[in-house]
Amino acid sequence: MGFLDKARRQLDTPANRQRLTQLRGRVADTVAKNETKIGQGLDKAAAAVDQRTKGKHHARISQGVAGAKKGVSYLGRKPSSADGGPGTTDGSTGGTR
């Protein structure tokens, strides 16, 4: 058993799971409230990088921003009480990994 396995076993308690669920809820609330601002910040950063690279990597930058916005949207969803995962209306967990 490795170091990380031991650490996970020690930290994986019901109290810690409850704290993590509460924290995830607070993060989801904050991200949901500020999703527009976060998206604007991503767009502004992308424009700056695109300008610095003189448009050479525009497609990659756009792809990265789209992925980041998708991740922000995912973070903005409330965890469901059943599994601690992101809450969705259709019962799915929202995406594959």
Span 18-65, pLDDT tens digits: 999 999 999 999 999 999 999 999 999 999 999 999 999 999 999 999
Task: Inform me whether the pLDDT recorded for 97 exceeds 70.
Answer: no
User: Which residue do the tokens 């209306």 mark?
Assistant: 89
Where along the chain do its domains lie? 31-76
pTM of the predicted structure, to 2 decimals: 0.65
Question: CA-to-CA distance for 29 and 16, rounded, in angstroms?
Answer: 20
- The answer, yes or no, to whether residue 2 has pLDDT greater than 70, is yes
Percent over 90 (pLDDT), the chain:
57
The encoded tokens of residue 68 equal 């980041």
Q: 74 pLDDT exceeds 60?
A: yes
Q: Write out the H or E segment, with its range, that includes residue 8.
A: helix 3-11
